[in-house]
Amino acid sequence: MLAASIVALMVGMLLQPSGLTEVIFSIISFTIILIVLSAVFYLAGIVVVGGRRALFKDAFAISVLGTLVLIVCLSVFSLEIAIILSLIAWLLLVRHYYETGLLGSIAVGLTSVIVAVVILLILSILLGISNLSFSWLPFLLTFYLRFKQ
């Protein structure tokens, strides 16, 4: 009986989130975000600037530095100012690492949004979360049918 109580207390302590658990979760989620962002920026860079200038290491550097700038801006400024400053930082990072102009970096940014949406749709189809990703399709269909006539 005493051993069962000790085991129950130990399991209860392990299941409750502690400071270490939160740190480990933050590190794992940050790593996953960086990998996904790097893949998105790499694919968008290949589409816009070509394979010679868009390297995966450059996409990873853009992801790391852009995410760090976003975190710093969110901790220092209000939400609106932080979003504007981090958007400018992302564009400057893309411009520097992909050796393109301002319009090229905007094109990479827009293409990366499109690539991210496509990846999200593919993952939601594969994981069976279709009601979340396709809830906007009836609206799009009515919009299309209204202007088709």
Residue 33 reports pLDDT greater than 50: yes
Looking at per-residue pLDDT, the higher value among 1 and 133 belongs to 133
**pLDDT band with cut points at 50, 70 and 90 for residue 52:** confident
The predicted-structure confidence for 5-14, as pLDDT tens digits, reads as follows: 444 444 444 4
Number of alpha carbons in the 13 Å side-chain half-sphere of residue 72: 10
**Helical pair 56-76 and 79-97, crossing angle rounded to 10 deg:** 160
Residue 144's pLDDT is: 59
Looking at per-residue pLDDT, the higher value among 66 and 126 belongs to 66
Residue 17 reports pLDDT greater than 80: no
Residue 100 phi/psi, 5° resolution?
-130, 175
* CA-CA-CA-CA torsion sign (28, 33, 38, 40): positive
Residue 112's pLDDT is: 87
Closest CA to 111 of 49, 51, 44: 44
Dist CA 148 CA 62 (whole Å): 41
The predicted-structure confidence for 82-137, as pLDDT tens digits, reads as follows: 889 988 999 999 999 998 889 999 999 888 888 888 887 787 777 766 555 556 55
Task: Give me the chain's average pLDDT, please.
Answer: 78
Residue 1's pLDDT is: 40
Residue 60 reports pLDDT greater than 90: yes
